[in-house]
Structures are given as C-alpha cells and as structure tokens.
C-alpha cells in the first residue's frame, strides 16, 4: 500500500453513491489525480469544510493494495479562496481554468509550474484583482507551459519581425499559431484582430514572470482583443469549445 502526502487544488467533485465523493485535484507533487473521499457526504465531521471547489488543501491519500482509486485519508485547508465561490463571475473564470487543467493535463504527471500558476491566479481572483486580466495571464502561461505558445514576434507567413510589419492591426493564423501581417492577409478581414499595442503587452507577459504581473496595466480595448484571441486560440487547439467557456460567456453577457 503506497501513501501520498502533498498539497492540491480541488478542481472537480462528484457525488458517488450515498456517502462518498470522487474528487479530482491538481496536486503539487503528483499532478492531476482523482481520489475517493469516503463518507465525505454523510458525515460533516469527516472533512469539515475542506472539500470545497477551488480551495487548496494539504492531503494524505492511500492507494489500495488491489489497485483502484486512491482513498483520501486526511485533508486540511491551506487556502480556502472563499471569495471565488460566492461570486458567479469569479466562479465562471475559475471553472474555465479548471476545465483546461482537467482536459489538457495527463493523469499523475507532476506539473509544478502549472500548479503555481493556478494557485497564483485563484489567489488573484480571490483578492479582487480584475478577473479578465488574470484570465489572460492564466491562458498565456498555460499555453507556454504546455508548449503551445502563440508566436507573436513575427508574421507567420512572410516571417517579417513585428517591428518591421506594416500597419497597426494584425490577424492571427490559428492553425499555424502565428501572427499574420496586413500584407499577408488574404480574403476578407478576420472577425477579430490584434493591435500592435495589444501584441506588445502579450509579449511582455510571455517574456516575464508571475512576480511582475501586478505591474500590468491593460486598456479596455486590449483586454477585449486579448480575450477574443485567446478564447479562440485555446478551443482551436483543444478541438472543441470548453463547456465552462460557454458558461463564462453567458455570465459576462449578463453583466454587461
Ligand atoms: Zn506577413
């Protein structure tokens, strides 16, 4: 019987039978992992207030000798991030990031940078930093850590460097993952474009690290452009639109 002890962020909880919960967590040391929490539904004393979505816990789990899902033995709250669950918009953003982690990451393969990123962004959301900007940061780094960074330094077709490209607006080739300059755009104007200023801000995030993110100042049009771009780029590479992204769009429309 092997036991694990680590920190983890709760991404999904499903009721199982009359008493139990099946949890999926992103853990610091073992990556994405599913566990069963026995009697978590029946007895509130078993895991009091610790198994809420998006909270960070420290946990001890044991894998049964016969194989099968690890069983959660102990859980203690590390960061409740309670400000997220009481707010629909914040919940929608956190659900979107969780779905990306759940669908993209392999089971039981540690990805410490993605763990740190998710914890950082949930903390920012909880602390009241602008959700839309935090989501741009999450998506850009998530793509970077997954080896899928969009190439914003040059035109993907003529290979011209950004500084030398004509015009102030650029298209983007989702398939090839690169910018498209005015000279290389064929056919009708794409439904969304990136202005030079937005591209520069996205490059600044790509080149930096999380510590500098607090200094980030986005204008409203740059937020809109980045949002449209990233929320088209990610579903394209995922092969479908995440369910939580539809929900997020719905909530944003209600708010505007
Ligand atoms: Zn070009």
CATH number, domain at 159? 1.20.1440
Residue 86 pLDDT exceeds 90: yes
pLDDT digits (tens, 9 = 90+) for 202-233: 999 998 877 777 778 889 999 999 999 999 99
Q: What is the pLDDT of residue 186?
A: 83
> Is 99 contained in some domain?
no
- Please tell me the distance between residue 160's alpha carbon and the centre of ligand 1 in angstroms: 6
Q: Are residues 132 and 228 in the same domain?
A: yes
Distance (Å) from CA 138 to ligand 1 centroid: 28
State the distance from the centre of ligand 1 to the C-alpha of 206, rounded, in angstroms. Answer: 21
Number of domains in the chain: 2
Residue 141 and residue 231 share a domain: yes
* Residues 240-253 pLDDT 10s: 999 999 999 999 99
Q: What pLDDT was estimated at residue 45?
A: 76
Confidence of residue 36 (pLDDT cuts 50, 70, 90): very high
- Residue 143 in domain: yes
Q: Are residues 155 and 74 in the same domain?
A: no
Report yes or no: 8 and 23 within 8 Å, Cβ to Cβ. Answer: no
To 10 degrees, what angle do helices 220-238 and 131-145 make?
40
- Examine residue 33 and state whether it is found in any structural domain, yes or no: yes
> In angstroms, what is the span from residue 23 Cα to ligand 1's centroid?
47
Residue 104: which pLDDT band, with cuts at 50, 70 and 90?
very high
> What's the 233 CA to ligand 1 centre distance in angstroms?
19
CATH number of the domain within which 48 lies: 2.40.50.140
How many angstroms does the Cα of residue 123 sit away from the middle of ligand 1?
A: 39
How many A from CA of 59 to the centre of ligand 1? 51
Whether 242 and 128 share a structural domain: yes
Please list, residue by residue across 153-162, b when 16 or more beta carbons sit within 10 angstroms of its beta carbon and e when fewer do: ebbbbeebeb
Residue 125's nearest CA partner among 111, 113, 137, 115 is 137
- Residues 48 and 158 reside in one and the same domain: no
- Answer whether residue 188 shows pLDDT above 90: no
User: pLDDT confidence of 148, banded at 50, 70, 90?
Assistant: very high
Kindly state whether residue 107 falls inside one of the protein's structural domains. Answer: no
Domain containing residue 58:
1-80
- What are the structure tokens assigned to 144, written together? 């970077």
Residues with CB under 5 A from ligand 1 (ion): 155, 157-158, 181, 184
Tell me the pLDDT tens digit for each residue of 51-78. Answer: 999 999 999 999 988 888 999 999 999 9
The CA 47 to ligand 1 mean position distance, Å, reads 57
Q: Do 144 and 69 share a domain, yes or no?
A: no
Query: Are 219 and 128 in a shared domain?
Result: yes
């Amino acid at each position: 019987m092997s036991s694990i002890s680590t920190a983890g962020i709760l991404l999904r909880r499903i009721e199982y039978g009359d008493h139990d919960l099946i949890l999926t967590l992103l853990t610091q040391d073992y990556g994405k992992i599913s566990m069963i929490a026995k009697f978590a539904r029946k007895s509130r004393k078993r895991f009091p207030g610790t198994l809420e979505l998006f909270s960070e816990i420290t946990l001890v789990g044991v894998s049964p000798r016969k194989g099968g899902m690890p069983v959660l033995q102990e859980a203690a709250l590390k960061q409740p991030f309670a400000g997220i669950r009481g707010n629909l918009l914040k919940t929608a953003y956190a659900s979107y990031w969780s779905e990306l982690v759940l669908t993209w990451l392999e089971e039981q393969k540690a990805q410490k940078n993605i763990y740190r990123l998710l914890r950082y962004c949930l903390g920012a959301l909880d602390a009241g930093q602008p959700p839309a900007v935090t989501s741009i940061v999450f998506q850009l780094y998530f793509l970077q850590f997954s080896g899928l960074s969009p190439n914003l330094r040059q035109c993907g077709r003529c290979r011209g460097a950004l500084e030398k490209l004509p015009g102030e607006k650029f298209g983007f080739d989702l398939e090839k993952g690169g910018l498209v300059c005015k000279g290389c755009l064929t056919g009708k104007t794409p439904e969304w474009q990136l202005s030079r200023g937005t591209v520069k801000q996205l490059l600044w995030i790509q080149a930096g690290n999380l510590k500098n993110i607090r200094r980030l100042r986005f204008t409203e049009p740059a937020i809109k452009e980045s949002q449209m771009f990233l929320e088209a780029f990610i579903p394209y590479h995922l092969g479908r639109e995440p369910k939580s992204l539809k929900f997020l769009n719905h909530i944003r429309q209600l708010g505007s």
